[in-house]
Structure 1
């Protein structure tokens, strides 16, 4: 059974955290795309705990209403705006509605995505295009909409939810991997432009590992068995905490989970080996032993009805904490400590030689 309270709490502890503590700080105005399920749903809950005003964007109304209840139970306010992020006009209209309802947008989280699980040779052009429009252009359009308002005030934070697959593609997800690579290039370009303009707007990319989200139950697939995340799996709350931390501590990039580091550095050091290794393990590694129903509904073109929550079917395997995120958060202190240790070692060696 899926747990739908945040994974770091027991059910009792969770019920004790519903009321947002009294604060004199003005509530943040936050926009989250892909907010109806998965990482977006968990992130909405995290901002709800902060008492934020959260605008929830996605296509599935059932999931959006569930996310709205979550945010309100946590102590925040929520605004449901059914939106297809592949429609630039709809995204811009959603941003305007948020500004008119909640006030100036402080944070925009680009999270919406979809995929197709199939060998490249079996994907039709329309499906490949659709994945690109949602996963890549959805982030572009969201960033455009956010910047339209943030640039007039010269403040705000935009989070691009990335992936280890932005650095290293894997088999069976060519459309998704290509889109995530595209986001990385877009991010680099826009960062440089904001730097040139001496902008005070923060732009951060949070690179995620495999997550235990609902997408594996509704992704379009041409595989004989049910899709699954490959490698070490993390709960969506791990991603949500990383995203809210990135908002509070803006930096260029955060890496969540050891597999993210593995993918990035492995591809830099030995890309040819990864081609061979992923070709050998990546097909079976993304499928369970259970046959897939040929008539199962998928969310590529239309949302799957119902409220599916944040978690997928892999709670028993999923990690609830990322030690690597702690390292990523504290890399300056770690670097300083290593530098101090090396300096002290040099001093001690000098003393020893002096004797």
Structure 2
């Protein structure tokens, strides 16, 4: 049986930590008192994220890196190990995307999305394993999406990368189980989240890009990631009722879902108005003369920070025990009545 992660301060690496879900996740780990290494390209966002970590009670280490560069990611991991001694948790969260019809995405743009969003996870996982396998302990959390199972229109590059992460992670998990390794890997499948990505992705849509409703706050995603890091024997977590509904519908009636998304998937992903001029595909959105975008996007008015499904997902073992105990009590009462009669 794999040793459990310490309940005390841990060393946690978060890629994509300068904004969005990665930023909220770094803050959530810091609230535990963890040492948090912040990996991303944007220096403005990284500096602000480090302030967030310190304010939340953690220790911050800023490591600027492009996750599509395998050697740079290896060097970043070594820098973290040199500073903090170990790497206990590695969270892969960095990504980029293009909102456009497939035929409107250039080959180099498609390659770039794949290198960051898919290979960035591969390179991060390899770097983490180099430090975790010799110790026979550690956890790798892959931040995924409902789109890892269910592709939608206008995001073919991103959906393809998330599908690839799902397959690669399953393969790695099988290998670790075969070896009896104490290193764990798990995946957290997210719903639509209110992050700044919709203002900085490359878009060729007629209006502003937006997430498909319902929209959740990044703190909900962050709580799920922190929970998964401490409960990584479970292979996967679904976050949000929309994620559960989408994945179940796709498993039961994928053809019907194809037709539904063909009718609704275009209009549901754009708002009125002009898309902003900031694009983070080739360079960070926050520099050199940019700004810190933070964790939240422009959808605070509609986003929610809780989900009954998320609570059930994180507490299903406790719920199962309660149901078992309840069933036992009912059965015992019935037996008592039968004996008395």
- State whether residues 40 and 67 of structure 2, in contact with CA within 8 Å, keep that contact through their aligned partners in structure 1: yes
Within a 5 Å distance, the mapping from 1:89-168 to structure 2 comes to 89-168=71-150
CA distance in 1 between counterparts of 2:107 and 2:254 reads: 28
Number of matched pairs: 330
Query: In the alignment, which of 71, 76, 92 is matched to residue 58 of structure 2?
Result: 76
Q: Does 2:262 correspond to 1:286?
A: no
CA distance in 2 between counterparts of 1:332 and 1:99 reads: 34
Query: In the alignment, which of 250, 253, 257 is matched to residue 236 of structure 2?
Result: 253
* Residue 47 (structure 1) shift: 1.4
Name the SS of the counterpart of 1:317 in structure 2: coil
* Residue 50 (structure 1) shift: 1.5
Within a 5 Å distance, the mapping from 1:160-179 to structure 2 comes to 160-179=142-161
Q: 1:271 to 1:349 in 2, by over 3 A?
A: farther
Unpaired segments of 5 or more residues in structure 1?
A: 1-23
With 339-348 and 163-172 compared, the bigger mean Cα shift is at 339-348
CA distance in 2 between counterparts of 1:180 and 1:209 reads: 13
CA distance in 2 between counterparts of 1:52 and 1:347 reads: 46
Partner of 1:40: 22
With 242-251 and 154-163 compared, the bigger mean Cα shift is at 242-251
Q: 1:25 to 1:277 in 2, by over 3 A?
A: closer
Unpaired segments of 5 or more residues in structure 2?
A: 1-5
Name the SS of the counterpart of 1:290 in structure 2: coil
CA distance in 1 between counterparts of 2:332 and 2:273 reads: 61
Name the SS of the counterpart of 1:57 in structure 2: strand
TM-score by length of 2: 0.92
Q: 1:342 to 1:273 in 2, by over 3 A?
A: farther
Query: In the alignment, which of 281, 299, 304 is matched to residue 319 of structure 1?
Result: 304
Cα deviations by residue, 1:160-193 (Å, 9 ceiling, x for unpaired): 0000000101000000001000000011100100
Query: In the alignment, which of 197, 201, 218 is matched to residue 236 of structure 1?
Result: 218
* Residue 245 (structure 1) shift: 1.1
* Residue 352 (structure 1) shift: 11
Query: In the alignment, which of 298, 320, 337 is matched to residue 279 of structure 2?
Result: 298
* Residue 216 (structure 1) shift: 0.4
* Residue 51 (structure 1) shift: 1.6
CA distance in 2 between counterparts of 1:130 and 1:64 reads: 22
